[in-house]
Chain A
Amino acid sequence: MKTIEVAALARVEGEGGLYIGVKDGQVVEIRLDIYEPPRFFEGFLVGRYLQEVPDITARICGICPVAYQMSSVTALEKALDVEVSPQVYALRRLMYCGEYIESHALHIYLLQAPDLLGQPSALDLAAIVPDVVKNALRMKKIGNDVLKAIGGRSVHPVNACVGGFYRWPDVAPLKALLPELEWGLEAAKETVRWSLTLPYPDLEIDYEFVAIHHPEEYGVMHGDAWSSKGSKTSVADYEMRYFEEHVQRSNALHGHTSYGGTYLVGPLARLNLNHAQLLPAAQKALKDAKLKLPLKNPFKSLIARAVELVHFYEEAIQLIKAYQLDGPSHLALKLKAGEGCGMSEAPRGLLYHRYKIDEQGMVKFAKIVPPTAQNLPRIEADLFALAPKLVKMEQDVATLTAEHLVRAYDPCISCATHFLKLKIKEVVHVKA
């Protein structure tokens, strides 16, 4: 039996390894091993005051802190039966736009594109196409600047709270971002065109796509969890249809549907289920791309991210132009015992939170279901689908191809529980 082992996956967030066992020319075992230590966030949130939750959960991830803030505040607001003002909601969407922009620009150009263009790293990519990488860094910086203008800093922003924002961000620094956002919108349109020229490996999977859907806006924070298989699940019923289970070899839970199936969350799911809600420039970019939806190739999630980049630049521009200080930035909270759940679309997929609080607003229970935990079984299944091709490849090419697939998902292993150094080990067991 031959095994392919990637002891530590590179260019993903968190620490994980990949194991593929081949016997008699057939792949017999595939495991995505998550050995990043368990983070225990759900445990140490218990006993904390509810207003600490958004800033603590934001520390789960340096790439998508806003997602953790937004899923937690919406869950806790549900527990208190409060609804935030339209102005607060709009500012939350703007903050989310910043996160999508920085996360997608990073993943498209610095994490996945090197794979598709046969380069070992973004540094190598920068050496051959410096202007592409320079533009990517500029695009990413704009997202971080939006976060800084609202949340005081570009990574792990603060300011979001249960009931709104601690203070309204100043108007002038936000409006000052408009020229760069306008540049970014054009760069994002070009990113879509460029994304169509990349050489994607052939792989079509009949996924069950799951994403938040809202009829009047591109689903991010409001709406139900729609499945491409037809189910429409409210946030209150999320745990009735989507489960997590412990897998002994992994420090991350694995998600599955109530009938035991795998499902896919993230940009492909959002684009396939929500393309009708894209803003006009993103609609046009999608139409000009002449893509046949649904997109079923996991490698082409890059195209979905590119279309979403157009959308979120466009939305950020609209929101900043409309932004004005109006009314209190946050609600005065009346504490009471309660339970609430919330979900939002992190750049890498649906993120669900549920909390129980007591009458003093102290957390009694916390549950966090990150996107990568939901996608892990699906990534393993995709690797199996790719297996017939993998076994025909040289080992180093097979290893790289498998890694490309994992990276295409933009998995956040730190969230679910980082690829630092790559070790490839071949073990051949010879029968005595």
Chain B
Amino acid sequence: MNILILGIGQSLRGDDAAGLEAVQLWQAQHPDSAAQVQVELSELPGLALLDLLEGMDAAILVDAVQSSASAGTVICLGPDELASFTPDAGSAHGWSVAETLQLGRLLVPSLANCRVTLIGIAGGQFGMGAGLSPKVRAALEKVADMVEREIQNYLK
């Protein structure tokens, strides 16, 4: 089974780096699991997300999200919930994950066979500079555990 674990975020925009750091933490804690899957870190995957998903049976995307929930809140969206996302008409130079997945559903029939899960971490501050806010950093362990649980569900 081909599984992709993708950490997404900009390392120099505060809590936006949460996805990157959570995947790195999981990788360090679970090297045996990491060896069985494809691990990628991407600052801004944009349309290249479709290429990364090519040939995958499952993908777990870990990304910071802007949410009304308090910083550090972790949400998990399964394929059905992601499919109902209606992205804003936005920038094509900076395609969002939701937009790209929607484009993929329109254009790449094989993507229908790939189970995409998004683990989102609500950020508190997305300003310039590296470093997570304390509440977001405190959530990384929980996210790493969730990534591992999802993988084990697939690898059973």
Q: Residues on A close to B: CB < 8 A? A: 10-13, 37, 62-63, 106, 110-111, 120-124, 126-127, 130, 133-134, 137, 140-141, 144, 154-155, 418-422
Contact = CB atoms under 8 A, between A and B. Distances in A.
Contact of A155 (B48, B50, B103, B106): B48
A62 B87 CA distance: 22
A10 B91 contact: yes
Given A141-B51, A144-B48, A154-B48, A123 B106 contact: yes
Nearest to B87: A123
B9 to A, nearest CB: 15
Given A126-B107, A127-B106, A137-B50, A62 B44 contact: yes
Contact of B92 (A110, A130, A141, A422): A110
A12 B93 contact: yes
A140 B47 contact: yes
A154 B46 CA distance: 12
A134 B107 contact: yes
A144 B49 CA distance: 13
A419 B93 CA distance: 9
Nearest to A61: B93
B73 interface: no
Contacts of A130: 106-107
B15 interface: no
Given A62-B44, A418-B93, 17 more contacts: A10-B90, A11-B90, A11-B93, A12-B93, A13-B91, A110-B92, A122-B103, A124-B89, A130-B107, A140-B47, A141-B51, A144-B48, A154-B48, A155-B44, A418-B91, A418-B94, A419-B90
Contact of A421 (B90, B99, B102, B103): B90
A10 B88 CA distance: 11
B102 A420 contact: no
Given A130-B107, A133-B107, A123 B91 contact: no
B78 to A, nearest CB: 22
Among all A-B residue pairs, the 3 with the closest Cβ atoms? A121-B89, A13-B93, A110-B92
B102 A123 contact: yes
Contacts of B48: 144, 154-155
A138 to B, nearest CB: 10
Interface string B53-96: 00000000000000000000000000000000001111111100
A137 B47 contact: yes
A106 B94 CA distance: 11
Contacts of A37: 128
A37 B91 CA distance: 18
Contact of B106 (A62, A126, A418): A126
Nearest to A144: B48
Main secondary structure of the interface of B (DSSP, over half): loop
Given A130-B106, A137-B107, A111 B92 contact: yes
B140 to A, nearest CB: 26
A144 B51 CA distance: 11
A11 B91 contact: yes
A420 B91 contact: yes
Contact of A63 (B93, B99, B128): B93
Contacts of B92: 11, 106, 110-111, 121-122
A10 B106 contact: no
A376 B88 CA distance: 27
Nearest to A419: B91
A62 B93 contact: yes
Nearest to A421: B88
Contacts of A422: 89
A24 to B, nearest CB: 34
A119 B17 CA distance: 34
Contacts of B47: 106, 137, 140
Given A123-B102, A126-B107, A130-B107, A420 B90 contact: yes
16 contacts: A11-B90, A12-B91, A62-B44, A122-B92, A123-B106, A124-B89, A130-B107, A133-B106, A134-B108, A137-B107, A140-B47, A144-B48, A144-B51, A418-B91, A418-B93, A419-B91
Nearest to A14: B93
Contacts of B87: 123
Contacts of A155: 44, 46, 48
A127 B153 CA distance: 34
A165 B44 CA distance: 25
A144 B99 CA distance: 20
Contacts of A421: 88, 90
A284 B51 CA distance: 33
A418 B92 CA distance: 9
Contacts of A134: 107-108
Given A10-B91, A141-B51, A126 B103 contact: yes
Which of B46, B87, B90, B106 has the most chain A CB atoms closer than 10 A to its own CB?
B90
A321 B46 CA distance: 31
Contacts of A10: 89-91
Contacts of A154: 48
B99 A123 contact: yes
